[in-house]
Amino acid sequence: MKTSHLILAYGTADLVSAAALTRRLDNGLGLTPSMGWSGWNVAQCNSASEKYALETANAFVSLGLKDLGYQYINIDDCWTVKSGRDANGNLVPDPNKWPRGIKAVADEIHGLGLKFGLYGCAGKLTCAGYPGSEGHEQQDARSLASWDVDFWKYDNCYTPCKTGGDDVQVCSSPDPSTKVWYGAMRDALLDVKTTHDILFNMCSWGVEQVWQWGKTYGNSWRIDNDNWQDWASVQRIGSKAAGISQYSAPGGFNDLDMLIVGNGVLTEPQERLHFGLWAIAKSPLILGTDMTKIPSSTLAIVSNKGIIDINQDSLGVAATTFQPPGAPAPVSGQIYTYWAGPLSDGVAVGLTSVGSAKTVSVNFADVPGLGKGSWTWKEMYSGKTGTGESVSFDLAEDDMAVLKVTSASK
């Protein structure tokens, strides 16, 4: 569609967003989902400090996570002073949390072979009430560049809203569109001179069906509200991902939100399902636990190389649900049993057991991308392998089997 038609279709009130649509995010980043850590699920505002950033970076190295591909150490809300910007309008890192400033920490993290991320917000304030970037997009992009930041999560609180101006913390009717402020920050990041490319992570909680247009604006976009620390959130977000899997591709992925594994709120099978589903759905894999205290069972789950390889497969296609003949239909809001998605060298298959322990079986002939005949498979959590026309697993309640299936000759 030509720009002039686009403007007519949008109406004059949305000229800015129509113009923004003509620019495509072409930063060469995020060809596979990002992997790393965020402090938010650990201790909210309290984890936005040098101490947490460096402890986590060192843990990534010593626990072997860096070698598995986890690289981003991301600080979330509350890293600046709350009272406001400095006399020149710059964001000011809280000196109590960042006694050496941001760049010294980013440098140290780069020295470990890792990357460093920060959080900002498109509105007047961040969600926790710290200074937001509205009207300061270019200036903030310059600050990030001067500190060699690699990742920018951009939230959606206190943004212009049809009901309540800029003063509503969470707005369901943006004025005129979240595209305006996500476009402004994207352009600022594209235009600033950096020595470190900045991955752009949009956090607008699925507002305005961001998955339909997010790839022209960012490298990933949150599809829903937060992954609160409970199993219900995992089900809410995981089931939603099935219906919008087609929007993920190299350069831009559905973001199912930070993982809540390791925090004592899920059973071990639920942690397997949570990690496995986020991985095959090609979500960023952002750990949200205190890495100095991560339980060994959780560490084993998030270190599963076979599952990480599925997540990082170069094809970048997200798995979705399929219904084998005779199986009950998916139920909205519940994680379905059968999942599959293509890989560059096979097919990823996920089998889940939400609600009760059960035996889950599937004929490969019924799996999209496979077909009649014999297939070779490997289940990544158990390490079991086999060749045949079907598989069957005895799963605990809320558990998951994650398979890679290849042609029998491989």
- Residues near ligand GAL (CB under 6 A) are 40, 76-77, 119, 126-128, 155, 157, 203, 205, 226
Question: Cβ of residue 241: shortest distance to ligand GAL, in angstroms?
Answer: 16
46 backbone φψ class: left, alpha, beta (φ>0; ψ -120 to 50): alpha
Q: Which entry of 14, 150, 155, 313 is annotated as an active-site residue? A: 155
Question: Cβ of residue 353: shortest distance to ligand GAL, in angstroms?
Answer: 29
Please check whether residue 375 is in contact with residue 406, taking contact to mean a CB–CB distance below 8 angstroms.
yes
Our CB check for ligand GAL shows the closer of 129 and 295 to be: 129
Instruction: Check if 167 is active-site.
Output: no
Our CB check for ligand GAL shows the closer of 131 and 350 to be: 131
Question: Cβ of residue 146: shortest distance to ligand GAL, in angstroms?
Answer: 23
Instruction: Check if 366 is active-site.
Output: no
Please check whether residue 35 is in contact with residue 302, taking contact to mean a CB–CB distance below 8 angstroms.
no
Our CB check for ligand GAL shows the closer of 185 and 380 to be: 185
Question: Cβ of residue 271: shortest distance to ligand GAL, in angstroms?
Answer: 20
Label the pairing between strands 390-395 and 72-74: unpaired
Question: Cβ of residue 394: shortest distance to ligand GAL, in angstroms?
Answer: 36
Q: Which residues of 347-384 are buried (b: 16+ CB within 10 A; e: fewer)?
A: bbbbbbbbeeebebebebebbebbeeeebbbbbbbeee
Our CB check for ligand GAL shows the closer of 77 and 366 to be: 77
Our CB check for ligand GAL shows the closer of 118 and 203 to be: 203
Our CB check for ligand GAL shows the closer of 125 and 343 to be: 125
Question: Cβ of residue 27: shortest distance to ligand GAL, in angstroms?
Answer: 22
Q: Which entry of 94, 166, 197, 226 is annotated as an active-site residue? A: 226
CB hemisphere CA count around 84 (13 angstroms): 4
Our CB check for ligand GAL shows the closer of 56 and 126 to be: 126
The token pair at 353 is 């057991």
Q: Which residue has the tokens 């909205």?
A: 332
Which residues carry out catalysis?
A: 155, 226
